[in-house]
Amino acid sequence: MSASKYANAQEVGKKLTPKRAEIMSDDSLGAVAQRLVDAGTQEFVQHGFEGASISRIVDAAGCNVRMIYHYFGNKAGLYRVCIAQAYDKLRQAEADATFWELPPDQAIAALVRFTFDYMVENPAFQGLMRIENMASAQQVRDLDAVNTRARNLFAAIDLVLARGAASGVFTQRPDPGMLYLSILGLATIHVANQHTMSVVLGRDLAEAGFLRARRDEVQRVVLASLMAP
């Protein structure tokens, strides 16, 4: 599936305000605003929304505090854009992936590997989602573009499942959202619980050999669920 078929078109406003802080790509923000988003993302992940310091954010971004209010209105506006951009990067990477038109079993296997690797390589995404879950997803539920692009992802997965069922490769055709939830859960638990489970299992869950073995196991589990008699 091409990116044009998958990706949802979005209108990006020229000026950011708390009310209009929807999906903002790196290209749609100026250099200073993007530095604030990058610094803000790290600050929110480390300290949560309440504990995040405007002073630390502007120091890390190399600008003055006035720029936050100029571009984002307030700290909440910056946080909203950080959340939106984190989701947009993931959804865009999924849309740009070249595996959607592979044979169904290969496409699902590739989706598993992609999701697994993305979560390992982008721990800030899980950090922001942890904060949002603690706040009952107050920001995500209002980001229409995020929710629309998630529906596009589920539609893409469903097309792969339909091809797999029609060809007999898959004996099961689950709801695409439920399948993605299973993939995401299996692809993130070792990251979200890295330190505690490293102690419990007696091995480093961030070690490359463990990650390769874990990714293979997740792929086997997901495909087995689709091919169960």
Sequence ranges of the domains in the chain: 3-226
Contacts of 77 (CB under 8 A, 6+ apart): 16, 17, 18, 21
pLDDT at 19: 40
Give the architecture (CATH level 2) of 3-226. Answer: Orthogonal Bundle (1.10)
pLDDT at 64: 93
- Identify the burial level of 201 via C-beta atoms within 10 angstroms of its C-beta, where 0-12 means exposed, 13-18 middle and 19 or more buried: exposed
CA distance 98 to 166: 22
Copy the structure tokens of residue 78.
């910056």
What DSSP state is assigned to residue 141?
Answer: G
CA distance 196 to 190: 10
CA distance 220 to 201: 21
CB atoms within 10 A of CB 203: 12
Instruction: Report helix, strand or coil for 53.
Output: coil
pLDDT at 15: 32
What DSSP state is assigned to residue 62?
Answer: T
pTM of the complete model? 0.83
pLDDT at 38: 97
User: For the chain, what is the radius of gyration of the CA atoms?
Assistant: 19
pLDDT at 26: 53
Half-sphere exposure at residue 16, Cβ-oriented, CA atoms within 13 angstroms: 30
pLDDT at 97: 96
CA distance 15 to 140: 20
CA distance 110 to 107: 5
E strand or H helix at 200: helix 194-201
For the chain (229 residues), the mean pLDDT of every run of 10, in chain order, is 39 33 55 96 95 96 95 95 94 95 98 97 93 86 84 96 98 97 96 94 96 97 96
